[in-house]
Amino acid sequence: MPLSEQEQRLLDEMERSLYQNDAEFVASVARAQQGRRSYTWLVAGVVVALAGIAVLVLGVVFQQPLIGILGFVVMFGGVLLALGSPRKPLAAGSGSKSSRKRSGSGSGFMSRMNDRWDRRQGGNS
């Protein structure tokens, strides 16, 4: 369901405000996304795991334990590939500084958001 024109304008205003007022937050979110898993590795792992299941079933159907064991090993490797895929590298030390800085501020973020809300409500009345 698409947004109405008023909702789209409000969303754009909120986005601009976020980029202007919370540059540190935007930068920390961008750094966190750099460490996300690659979907290419996830898809490759699923495909390998499915191939391993197929080989395992073939080993059972033809009553060949070695083929079944090989299928299990391939399936297990595919699961490991999907779940333990390499991550994109993070900048060294980026997470520790920001988490220390944030933990010291306590409820600073919420108080800033409340202040902004009060200013907007006061300006519109």
- Identity of the amino acid at 76: F
pLDDT band at 97 (very low <50, low <70, confident <90, very high): very low
pLDDT, position 46: 92
pTM: 0.43
Runs of H (alpha helix) within the chain: 5-21, 23-34, 39-61, 65-83, 94-105, 108-124
- If you average pLDDT over residues 21-29, what whole number do you get? 74
Rounded distance, CA 122 to CA 125, Å?
A: 5
Q: Is the pLDDT of residue 43 over 50?
A: yes
Report which of residues 46 and 2 the model is more confident about.
46
